[in-house]
Structure 1
């Protein structure tokens, strides 16, 4: 039969195909695996895992049991971070396994989850529309950026919790940009556990408790949770001991509750911890079984988790008795799951995941000495307010410190950042004064433009003072908090920073520099500095007052020493260097 198509129909078809092609051309696509540097986060063996979205290296296949190996091919805890200013972001990927489970939604098993971090370090969740076909697609539309600068946000995409990703592309609008963030050099928090650690039964990847910790604390997290297979085996502890970890978390009791012999739990705990301690001095956190929701209606259920927790507690107490260093313990009561915190009495719902994460975050902050406060000035966070790449500079500092241990550190904001010294900045306003002051000394510039006290706190908590012993540290911070915080909040934050620096660098000579005079704020800064000086005098730090060298007879800022009423010029840095020279 002959089918006739009218001229009008042909025209409409051509217009449709043309518009479809235009829509397709509106996006540019990037494959995370094709980047110059590794960008897949949450893995401990980056070089051995290139080109994959798996969690254990190939060498482990012959060492671990097959069910555990198969689970390691699932992408729990993995993520990809990137900068973009696109109003729409598309994710398309191929997942090999089943899409969902009876007790866990498709969005958790096989979905992805996108979060944004704005220029002030605040976290933002992104809602996406999804389609689960042979190729899974997520579309995040209507994305807006508060400041309108066009510089966009930092994004982190969390991958499926219970599926294996074989291919992925991220698309942004043609006129937008996407720049992937390399994997951080920071030491990770390493989780070894069960299905609960892997992420069952979170409704979406961002709600797995390990990923909540990642989002809240911003520490890298390696998730080695294996559903039904967290059994504290020697082979896994051998792999764990290869990781240069900041903290090991051992949360295996839910898979040990049915152990017929409590000696198995006791001995595997001791053997595992001793194996870690033989190669690492990282703290180890042992975690009790969190219990079951029906324990008050079933004595059998209650006794099963107690049978696991009792030998674990005994092993912990013996480790402490034997003076094994940095061993910590998290109890069932510390975790404190509420009655409705589980899906089927075993695996946490999103509510349970949040309660898990909250208890862990409290304990991790205690172990790592990461204090905070009630005001914004004392809550550690990132920032991206200046044109330079703040995160990249942080990574430069970590790299520089690891390769060339500094004698002297200059910690601060743009006043320090744009003075001179390494890591090098495009702008150096006092290079001659810097080189004269620090000639022959290894000095690292830990100044970051637009930093406030909370941003410096974040940087210190994330490794900038770790792995070396400095002789001298200068701290100059607080001026960028003046328009956001009260005097009391600024003082409290500087005090917290001083305490934190002393904790990280106990042998260094610490100098706290008062806020520099600032045009129109001289009186307020004078009050803050006076109180700061009184407080510092009661500590082992030394207060430095630069104000007399930078003001005129009327007590106002000497404009000839500054470029803009805030930042010193070459002459101003010469005055500063002259004062600091007497402390070196």
Structure 2
């Protein structure tokens, strides 16, 4: 015979009453299309709004590069609101997260609020198991206006996004809070693998920590310094360029393409600083001798080509790979891509050098 556990009618009514009170206390929300707010992190104004570039303008790019350009890595929505609650509704493509990244980083959202002149983490929007998600990012905030940055997914395409606030509150576009334009071209490491959330990808962290507008041109597995890519980025009105693109090309491609990439940029920007970064150590190469030799050869060729160019170019700089991830082999998620610790170690090394170079140019 099936027996049911007794349940107090009083307890049931109290639970129902509490749930009803909680529902009554929830403030109704009003949603605003993020398209009406300010987007940061783009190299130029273009449509589609949430794509990093308008691929229709660049017929020579490969199909894979065009697809990666639809990912919103490094893009953020800048706005001000006096709401006590911030929520989001958004739709991404049908892609599923990869096994070396969190779902939040891959297709979620990451909110920062300016507090005491510092960008402070405020909350994340976790994606649902479906392509359309809705969630509260932060609630019960104090009265007053908040200056906000909502970072978009690093590895998926945003199809639509609405930001929810208290029904009686206001939300207005904010200006781009970052100055100048510095393009970072590189691999999945630039794009953001394997940070735990979008705001922890290193170009985004650099922007918040320094106040400069670092533009994420990371193309996962496909930053191979192709002529079509050099021709695309070189004319852009940048104050500096950072080339963190050694991980993806073969050693032979590094040898063949580095000079063309630098020289193409130089034709448009004779005097801006170009900062080249060697490859982060592949911790998989601690024991795999083939991987270790391959990375060592690529870094060797990259240094060789940069040093040749430096003989006639006083505005070209090299940051070496040693120490980029520390020396305890705890800086990656999978032996290749930095985790949050690895990205912070990268910044501890490259940030002072970058700022020192910028100071020389009055950037």
Whether TM exceeds 0.5 here: the answer is yes
2:148 counterpart SS class:
strand
1:242 aligns to 2:232 (yes or no): no
How far, CA to CA, are the matches of 1:367 and 1:191 in structure 2? 15
Correspondence for 2:137 among 122, 136, 140: 140
What TM-score do the two structures reach when normalised by structure 1?
0.55
Q: Is the 8 A contact 2:184 2:215 kept in 1?
A: yes
Q: Is the 8 A contact 1:42 1:221 kept in 2?
A: yes
How far, CA to CA, are the matches of 1:56 and 1:225 in structure 2? 12
Q: In the TM superposition, what is the alpha-carbon distance from 1:151 to its structure 2 partner?
A: 3.4
1:125-524 paired onto structure 2 within 5 Å: 125-128=121-124, 130-132=126-128, 133-145=130-142, 150-183=143-176, 186-256=179-249, 258-259=250-251, 261=252, 264-280=253-269, 281-322=271-312, 324-338=313-327, 339-369=329-359, 504=362
Highest CA radius of gyration, 1 or 2? 1
Correspondence for 2:75 among 65, 78, 82: 78
2:247 counterpart SS class:
helix
1:4-23 paired onto structure 2 within 5 Å: none
Q: In the TM superposition, what is the alpha-carbon distance from 1:71 to its structure 2 partner?
A: 0.6
How far, CA to CA, are the matches of 2:289 and 2:171 in structure 1? 55
Bigger share in helix: 1
Q: In the TM superposition, what is the alpha-carbon distance from 1:22 to its structure 2 partner?
A: 8.3
Q: Is the 8 A contact 2:87 2:164 kept in 1?
A: yes
> What per-residue deviation string (whole Å, max 9, x for no partner) do you get for residues 448-495 of structure 1?
xxxxxxxxxxxxxxxxxxxxxxxxxxxxxxxxxxxxxxxxxxxxxxxx
Correspondence for 1:30 among 28, 32, 46: 32
Gaps of 5+ in 1: 1-17, 371-502, 506-584
Which residue of structure 2 aligns with residue 55 of structure 1?
52
Q: How many residues are treated as equivalent by the alignment?
A: 341
Q: Is the 8 A contact 1:111 1:204 kept in 2?
A: yes
> What per-residue deviation string (whole Å, max 9, x for no partner) do you get for residues 143-178 of structure 1?
434xxxx43221101000000001001111022221
1:124 aligns to 2:120 (yes or no): yes
How far, CA to CA, are the matches of 2:127 and 2:220 in structure 1? 26
How far, CA to CA, are the matches of 1:278 and 1:352 in structure 2? 35
Q: In the TM superposition, what is the alpha-carbon distance from 1:360 to its structure 2 partner?
A: 2.3
How far, CA to CA, are the matches of 1:346 and 1:114 in structure 2? 27
Distance 1:308 1:131, change over 3 A: closer
Distance 1:176 1:331, change over 3 A: same
> What per-residue deviation string (whole Å, max 9, x for no partner) do you get for residues 162-213 of structure 1?
0000100111102222121134684211011001111111111011111111
Q: Is the 8 A contact 1:93 1:137 kept in 2?
A: yes
Q: Is the 8 A contact 2:284 2:336 kept in 1?
A: no
Gaps of 5+ in 2: 1-19
Q: Is the 8 A contact 1:283 1:327 kept in 2?
A: yes
Which protein has greater RCO, CA pairs closer than 8 Å, 6+ apart? 2
Q: Is the 8 A contact 2:91 2:160 kept in 1?
A: yes
Bigger share in strand: 2
RMSD: 2.5
How far, CA to CA, are the matches of 2:169 and 2:33 in structure 1? 16
Distance 1:76 1:32, change over 3 A: same
Q: Is the 8 A contact 2:104 2:125 kept in 1?
A: no
> What per-residue deviation string (whole Å, max 9, x for no partner) do you get for residues 517-537 of structure 1?
xxxxxxxxxxxxxxxxxxxxx
